[in-house]
Chains A and B, each alone.
Chain A
Amino acid sequence: MKPKVLLDKVGLWSATVVASTALILGVAPMTAKAINVPTAVTEDGKNTYKKYCSPCHGEEGKGDGPLARSMLPKPRDFTRGAYKFRTTPSGSLPTDEDIFRTISYGVPNSTMIPWDILTEQQRASIIPVLKSFSEAFEVRKPEPPVNVGLEIRPSEKSLAEGKKIYEEKLECWKCHGVEGRGDGPSAAEQEDDFGFPIKPFDFTTGKFKGGNSDRDVYLRFTTGLNGTPMPSFAKELTDEQRWCLTHYVMSLIKPEETCK
């Protein structure tokens, strides 16, 4: 009996260590590693964009490629410089690393696959091409990334605080639903800045569009998603409260329901 229990525990810890390592290795390089982005549009960048990006995003970056018409959500229109997934404050342009990360990681629940199938150099070469589609990058610079406060642990107390924010303070449920299924009473009315209907995120899927780490989710509350009705709560919530909300929405994930 005892040896078996011991074995189980060893097994559990080994699995945890392996999983954590995998998670760290998998996420960290994309977010932290310095990338070498060309300062101007290159031939390689143009060709890569044309071959792999323009079928959806269009030759001029308007989100109107030949495959776009039947797609929902619609591919991003780059001409406004509105990028959802950033480390920069609400309304700011993204950093090159932000764009690189989205290209590499993809956007779950959309047809934007992780383009890690392209070399790092190819992915980096696309970034000036995307930026060239919007005048915003000529007249403005991305603001510095927001400060990520010290993470607090998910505890009974922090989850309760997150729930309170979700249900009472911010009333997240109005769009995202009481159980986080993206089915709140206002869900059907939401539109993005491009005039397309946009579905509030269903937290139960656990496939967060901007990344699945605590930090990623925290960043969404801090930076907001430009071009969408999802605002930044950097002013409304303290750093600690944003962590509480992060842990709470992550507690809504229902792995048994995530398989489509």
Chain B
Amino acid sequence: MKKLGLGLCLSAMMALTTLAVAAEKPAAKKETPPDLYEGTPDWYKAVYRDNVGMREGSGPFKDYFKPQMLDMYWQPNRHYEPMKNLDHSIFIEKERRDLCVTCHEEATPGVVRDWRSSGHKNPKSTPYLSSRTAEIEKRTNRVLNEVHCFDCHADTQKKQIRMPTGEVCGECHRPQFDDFLREREVGRPNHIQSWEANTIVPWYAEAARRGYLYGQHGCDLCHSGAEKCDVCHTRHKFSAAEGRQPEACITCHMGPDHPDAESYGESKHGVIYHKEEEHFDFTRPLAEVRPGKDYRTPTCQFCHMYEKHGRFIHNPVMKGIWRMGTIPPKNLEYTSSLKDYPYGIKIIGDKIDIYSEENVAKRSYWLEVCAKCHSDRFADTYLKSLDQFMFQAHTLADKAQKIIDDLIADGFLYPSAADRDPYPLSDGIEKQLSPAFLGEPIYNAFKTLKGKFPVVGPILGVYGMFLQQQDNPSDIENNYNRLWFWYKLQGYKGTAHVQQDVSWWWGQAPMMMEFTKIQSEAARLRREGRIEKVSVSK
């Protein structure tokens, strides 16, 4: 369920992307304090960054729900509140570092032991670590013999305990922080906007309003990767080596919408990894990994964090071409309303041109990675066949969407949009979002029809997987959601990660079976509609 939540939130988000904030090149980075929201507009900071504790939610629809208490840990800038049971200010004022460990060694011994075995406790314990620490010392003008609880958890200005965010880590780990920040350049789906992806979709607030807030626990858990580094480098070891292991990714990257763990794990790449795991040297920085020696097979990180020309970047999204597989490519002729995608909506990302100059360049960077072990021709042929798979899958989705488009046009969709609950949070969309945000026609549709119109297909049609409402959507629409959102994406991951079973039995086969269901259901709706008309006319 969690996976599902994750996935759909991600995908929804990618759609709603433009909202997001084009990244501006930060000027004089090194001198400015790290800021996860650098380059984002003021409205964005006001709903995602400014701390409101538990008073209100996040995102444009923040006023429609109050967050779960747990959200303070997932999105600390926005929601964290220091503990009230014990006022820690005295320890911070007097900078009694010794007492943190004295108490927490007993209160939370696992945390302290983790820290003791971390590079933070002994930042100069090996020659390699020493050299990295020396770089940080030089950059920050500090002497670092120990990075202590106090350094990350004490807010010395407010005199209270804080939950560290990437900004705190970025004070020392600035290059990694800046690389992470660059995820904004490519837009959603990414990690740094994952909380935005979670809460900007209207169905999140609508579900909360309908009493399903805690049902979205799974969404929150994965989408908490926006501000925190411990998503990959778990507390309190914060091990770089751990972050290089495929297992660092799989708690989120699994399941119906992106079975990465399954498709990589059961592929030949994954099988070799599992067989020979103990021979992999994860202590080596990615750029120094010798394929065939340190790694006999690639990891998630080795392929996805390779940027170009031998350089690795500290984020895994820069080379993505098909992104999550949800956005239709420009390179097809569509018969359905997909030809109008993104329907003039300003906040949804445009179709992807797979052969754009940028994407052709990205493909060559992929080939640079593959060529560590495969011939250029094999790799190129493989990736081209992935493109063909995706074109076919999107074509099938187009045919399915056409069936539903026609049902709507001919008045056979049942129950009709006018007889259903409106689109999620229609009142909020009308109130909170502007024509500039939504596009004039869509905005007007909300204004005049109050959300009583059908929404089908990527991305906004996915709400049916996240929200239960009266007759909205109907079964056939959810069949279509499964086709394009689950099975197409499963086929994509199976094919991309070279896992034949996932490609076929989780992908292509159920996509076709779902298509058949859609055809049958459409035929039934038409038949019933005709019968009804005849009986009414009699």
Q: A residues engaging B (CB < 8 A)?
A: 51-52, 55-56, 65-67, 70-71, 106, 109-111, 113-114, 117-118, 259-260
Contact = CB atoms under 8 A, between A and B. Distances in A.
Contacts of A71: 106-107
A60 to B, nearest CB: 16
B290 interface: no
A100 to B, nearest CB: 18
Range, interface on chain B: 10 to 19
A111 B86 CA distance: 13
Contacts of A52: 86-87, 90
B109 A114 contact: no
B94 A109 contact: no
Given A55-B85, A260-B116, A117 B106 contact: no
Contact of B105 (A55, A70, A260): A260
Contact of B102 (A55, A66, A113, A259): A113
B106 A109 contact: yes
B99 to A, nearest CB: 5
B103 interface: yes
A66 B96 contact: no
Interface of B: 85-87, 90-91, 94, 96, 99, 102-103, 105-107, 109, 112-113, 116
B85 A110 contact: no
B96 A117 contact: yes
Contact of B109 (A66, A259, A260): A260
Contact of A106 (B87, B102, B107, B109): B102
Contacts of A67: 85-86, 107
Contact of A260 (B87, B99, B103, B113): B113
Contacts of A106: 102
A99 B90 CA distance: 22
Contact of A55 (B86, B94, B106, B113): B86
B85, B102, B106, B112: residue with the most chain A Cβ atoms closer than 10 Å: B106
Given A52-B87, A260-B116, 5 more contacts: A55-B86, A67-B107, A106-B102, A111-B107, A260-B112
A113 B85 contact: no
A111 B99 contact: no
Contacts of B102: 106, 113-114
A248 to B, nearest CB: 27
**Residues of A contacting B: mostly:** loop
**Top 7 closest A-B pairs, CB basis?**
A55-B86, A66-B85, A111-B106, A55-B85, A111-B107, A113-B103, A113-B102
Contacts of A65: 85
A52 to B, nearest CB: 8
Nearest to A55: B86
Contact of B87 (A51, A117, A259): A51
**Residues of B contacting A: mostly:** helix
A56 B106 CA distance: 13
Contacts of A113: 99, 102-103
Nearest to B87: A51
A26 to B, nearest CB: 13
A181 B112 CA distance: 21
A260 B114 CA distance: 11
A90 to B, nearest CB: 27
B90 A117 contact: yes
Nearest to A108: B102
12 contacts: A51-B87, A52-B90, A65-B85, A66-B85, A106-B102, A111-B103, A114-B102, A117-B91, A117-B94, A117-B96, A260-B109, A260-B112
Nearest to B105: A260
A109 B106 CA distance: 6
A52, A55, A110, A113: residue with the most chain B Cβ atoms closer than 10 Å: A113
A260 B90 CA distance: 26
Given A117-B91, A260-B113, A110 B86 contact: no
B255 to A, nearest CB: 32
Contacts of B85: 55, 65-67
A109 B105 CA distance: 8
Nearest to A70: B107
B40 to A, nearest CB: 38
Contacts of B105: 260
Contacts of B91: 117
A66 B103 CA distance: 16
Nearest to B96: A117
A51 B85 CA distance: 9
A216 B290 CA distance: 59
Contacts of A111: 103, 106-107
Contacts of A110: 106
A116 to B, nearest CB: 9
B98 to A, nearest CB: 9
B105 to A, nearest CB: 6
A113 B86 CA distance: 13
A244 to B, nearest CB: 31
Given A71-B107, A111-B106, A260-B112, A117 B99 contact: yes
A113 B90 CA distance: 13
Nearest to B86: A55
A73 B352 CA distance: 60
A189 B113 CA distance: 28
Contacts of B87: 51-52
A112 to B, nearest CB: 8
Contacts of A56: 86
B453 to A, nearest CB: 51
Nearest to B91: A117
A72 to B, nearest CB: 8
A53 to B, nearest CB: 10
A12 B148 CA distance: 31
A125 B125 CA distance: 45
B154 to A, nearest CB: 14
Contacts of B106: 71, 109-111
Nearest to B112: A260
